């Protein structure tokens, strides 16, 4: 059972996520392969994980120029999949009034010159309606869709990733994102990845207790190999050697804390299972300007 110090730490919408858009760190050796990134991982080669989207969410009540940075995945020609807490403030329930979606991104500081910017507003920002109710966030519904303003051109269909069905257990997966490289930062300028094992129900329950629901969530169980702040909404993926492709099995949701601070190095990050929400995903994407998400069963 988790101790009192091991409580949910939402990966982005904590106070540390308020980033001044006019104050960014200089990029140094971000293109170097093999440097320590994410938590215990490596920088990816340019051209890998092209389904990744980089998101900046803006809120009417936040200070001007501040945003929450998240990851997401392209799942159809019209929709991005991410975490609900990336587009809805888990403290107030406020839904973002604008999300900047950037595709074809490798570096974010400075922003990749080849990035494609799509700005989404209003009802096209769709957190799961059960994520925030009666003033309380419910982590098993930490999932959201973002509807792009127009269909992706067919020339960009290579960006579309697969969802994995059914949910995957007790196997190694790879997390991808631009988040913190330690619990106290800094964030990575360049896309990074790390692999770790998914835990059993007993392993995850023993750590998280009632905060964990294996039907709707997964957790990683390798200390020193994890996601951290800024990786929220991004995927964990499984590689199929038979199909030579990645498919998404989880969405980065939250990590443990120690003494009120993120403790990403502990491992045991929790991920939302897209497979548990396939009905909601299809009901809010198929036939609404996009085709249904491609699934992989291998």
Beta-bridge partners for 240: 245
Residue 3 in domain? no
Q: Is 85 a catalytic residue?
A: yes
Q: What is the DSSP string of 153-173?
A: PGGGGGGPPEEESS---SSEE
- Mean pLDDT for back-to-back runs of 10 residues, the chain (298 residues): 44 38 27 50 93 97 94 97 97 97 96 96 97 95 97 95 78 94 88 96 96 96 94 94 90 92 93 95 85 85
Contact present, 145 and 285 (Cβ < 8 Å): yes
For the question of residue 252 being annotated catalytic, the response is: no
Domain for residue 27, yes or no?
A: no
Tell me how many degrees the CA angle 68-69-71 measures, rounded to the nearest 5: 135
Among the listed residues 89, 112, 142, 231, the single catalytic one is 142
Q: Could you list the residue range(s) of the whole structural domain that residue 163 is in? A: 9-20+34-296
For the chain, the domain total comes to 1
Q: Which of 49, 57, 85, 229 is catalytic?
A: 85
Residue 194 burial (CB < 10 Å; 0-12/13-18/19+)?
A: buried
Is 1 within the bounds of a domain?
no
Whichever domain contains 229, its CATH number is: 2.40.10.10
| Domain assignment present for 29 | no
pLDDT the model gives residue 17: 37
Which residue is catalytic, options 183, 226, 232, 253? 232
Residue 2 lies in a domain: no
At 297 the pLDDT is 78
User: What is d(CA 38, CA 186) in angstroms, rounded to the nearest whole number?
Assistant: 10
pLDDT of the residue at 143: 98
DSSP state of 226: B
């Amino acid at each position: 059972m988790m101790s009192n110090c091991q409580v949910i730490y939402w990966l982005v919408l904590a106070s540390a996520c308020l980033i001044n858009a006019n104050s960014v760190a200089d990029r140094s050796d971000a293109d170097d392969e093999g440097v320590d990134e994410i938590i215990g991982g490596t920088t990816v080669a340019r051209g890998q994980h092209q389904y990744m989207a980089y998101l900046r969410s803006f809120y009417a009540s936040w200070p001007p120029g501040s945003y929450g940075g998240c990851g997401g995945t392209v799942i159809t020609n019209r929709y991005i999949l991410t975490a609900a807490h990336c587009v809805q403030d888990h403290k107030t329930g406020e839904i973002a009034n604008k999300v900047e979606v950037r595709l074809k991104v490798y570096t974010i500081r400075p922003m990749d010159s080849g990035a494609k910017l799509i700005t989404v507003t209003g009802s096209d920002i769709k957190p799961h309606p059960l994520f925030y109710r009666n003033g309380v966030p419910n982590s098993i519904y930490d999932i959201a869709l973002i509807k792009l303003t127009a269909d992706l051109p067919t020339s960009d269909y290579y960006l579309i990733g697969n969802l994995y069905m059914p949910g995957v257990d007790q196997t190694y997966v790879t997390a991808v994102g631009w988040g913190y490289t330690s619990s106290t930062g800094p964030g990575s300028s360049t896309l990074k990845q790390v692999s770790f094992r998914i835990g059993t129900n007993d392993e995850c329950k023993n750590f998280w207790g009632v905060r964990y629901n294996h039907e709707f969530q997964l957790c990683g169980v390798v200390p020193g190999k994890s996601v951290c702040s800024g990786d929220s909404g991004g995927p964990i993926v499984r590689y199929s050697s038979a199909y030579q492709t990645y498919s998404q099995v989880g969405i980065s949701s939250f990590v443990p804390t120690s003494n009120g601070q993120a403790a990403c190095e502990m491992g045991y990050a929790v991920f939302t299972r897209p497979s548990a929400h396939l009905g909601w995903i299809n009901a809010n994407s198929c036939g609404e300007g996009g085709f249904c998400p491609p699934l992989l069963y291998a």
